[in-house]
Structure 1
């Protein structure tokens, strides 16, 4: 049991336990206080449509954000970067707007998706340049680009209006299609098996890729080294400038992909598609065990936290809580996540100091 717990990680075990408790509160405890709707949680329609699809966009933003936060930085601009990716992909796809009237071929789904991701990577390069070359604090830098990129998204769209892609079924397929629909899975609470959304499969694949990158490559080890001790990382021969730019490029590229999927899901490349999503993404990263000072955090922990936030939002919708109450809950969750992160960090520092005192 101890070996299994160590392999999973204590933080991840805590997240799984919190997820189980939250589901119990939604499905059972809520009924004790007169709330109805919790019994609808365990149905394939709710789990595959309302939960599995709802966590995808925030999940992608949080996965990219984790890379930056582990290194001791922050990227508040991911929501606006997603808006840029959404507008650029739709613009290229239908041939309108700033990018749609260029040399890029229109009507090609692959080119449109690649253009949205590339736009996000360019935004990441800009963030990395401001943080490394201009030496602006990452919080201030990305707070500025949050506003700047939001404005750029409107400038890229024709007259700042959404670009419809409803007539592009090959593109909207990314959001509406289901996989494994023919698998003989029994009904759940009277709801038939609907298959796994393509969006969810994309999230899982990206999560696994970034997890391998962070856990089993020199790049990932360098990211943790920078977050743990920047001076020691530099003395060890790590190029801090190149690494930081690479981290923001990864965050921007994943955010661009999230914007592409937002365009497919909402059937429009809207300049406001990603507005406000950065709060949920950052909340998930800190809730997943990342430290505000860097050097700690895992992709799997972030993924579990995204599931927790998604289940929380879904449960509150089922129980009839309005959007404003959900925002209050999300804000309190962020404060609690950061407070827990700080408490863990202080506890580890005390343990380390006690161990050093005993050795001396």
Structure 2
């Protein structure tokens, strides 16, 4: 008869299972991103005592919302082997439209709905140019980057910001819930980001639509032979990306109490693209996860927060983000080359 000691699971097995589950969720390719984030946190915390305060940590969550929403949509686009450089301009146009709806017509629901709808419409314009005119996504969205920015200034009365003084609408950008005692509360925009990122993660990892995005990015020919309508998929993907950029623009309006054609949304495309590539996506498509993109957004937000706490000028932050984009793309290209070499060795071994 076996002793009760041999029947018990080995010590630490529960911790091991937890670690394995966490690794599967994050993805082995993103463990280096977690390590980089941990090192960054240690470096910043060693220089300032304010980093780990509840208010500062929650501020990081609030500040990553706008970029995070755009990065969710950008993940879908890049995994499908596309690119959307116009998302910052889409957010700017949506910001102005939502401000006009709230300030002139007094409808908060209309402000949110029209901002998101305009974003989806402009995303559809991108998809139309790419699919029917057969223009490269980089060239197409570079053109609409300029066109949509001009549209934002055309919508704004005389090209000026539109003020919004509705306190209820402002809650969408800076409101907090669960404020208890000295706890500053969880930012509402951060909750919105978590919900949308959670839905997107489920769609990308557990639905036919998500698997179709990976297939069309990794092997468009196989996707077509499998019956996936690539044209329709591109319209869905770019419309979703545009809608999320529109929602980001609405949140910028609510946070700043004004609809800004450019300020607050300029440079969003660079940060979102950097985050998605840092999160494991590659230019060729077929790779990338929502979890990886959100980890990268957290890394970028932590970097900006730490630099602000340490009084480092903004232009240094721009240099750091530009370097991160170069590093992210280089790592992605290295991963792709390594995968191709492994496939070649495997094919040679079978042939031998």
Structure 2 matches for 1:53-64, cutoff 5 A?
53-64=62-73
Structure 2 matches for 1:78-93, cutoff 5 A?
78-93=87-102
Instruction: Give CA deviations for 1:155-212 in whole Å, capped at 9, x if unaligned.
Output: 001111111002x111111122211113x7xxxxxxx321100010011011011111
Shift of 1:122: 0.3
After TM superposition, the score normalised by the length of structure 1 is 0.90
Shift of 1:337: 0.5
Q: Which residue of 2 aligns with 1:100?
A: none
Residues of 1 paired with 2:29 and 2:303: CA distance?
19
Tell me: CA distance 1:283–1:161, structure 2 relative to 1, closer, same or farther (3 Å): same
Instruction: Give CA deviations for 1:250-309 in whole Å, capped at 9, x if unaligned.
Output: 000000000000000010001013111110110000000001100000001100100000
Shift of 1:335: 0.2
Q: Which residue of 1 aligns with 2:83?
A: 74
Q: Which residue of 2 aligns with 1:42?
A: 52
Residues of 2 paired with 1:310 and 1:163: CA distance?
27
The answer to whether the 8 A contact 2:26-2:292 is kept is no
Q: Does 1:14 align with 2:32?
A: yes
Shift of 1:3: 3.9
Q: How many residues align?
A: 332
Residues of 1 paired with 2:70 and 2:25: CA distance?
26
Instruction: Give CA deviations for 1:332-357 in whole Å, capped at 9, x if unaligned.
Output: 00000100111111111111111111
Larger radius of gyration: 2
Residues of 2 paired with 1:8 and 1:82: CA distance?
29
Q: Equivalent residue of 2:39, what SS?
A: helix
Residues of 1 paired with 2:132 and 2:225: CA distance?
19
Instruction: Give CA deviations for 1:67-89 in whole Å, capped at 9, x if unaligned.
Output: 00000000000000000110111
Residues of 2 paired with 1:7 and 1:81: CA distance?
31
Unaligned runs of 5+ in 2: 1-15
Q: Equivalent residue of 1:52, what SS?
A: helix
Q: Does 1:338 align with 2:329?
A: yes
After TM superposition, the score normalised by the length of structure 2 is 0.92
Shift of 1:7: 4.5
The answer to whether the 8 A contact 2:26-2:291 is kept is no
Residues of 2 paired with 1:254 and 1:310: CA distance?
19
Q: 18-27 or 117-126, which moves further after superposition?
A: 18-27
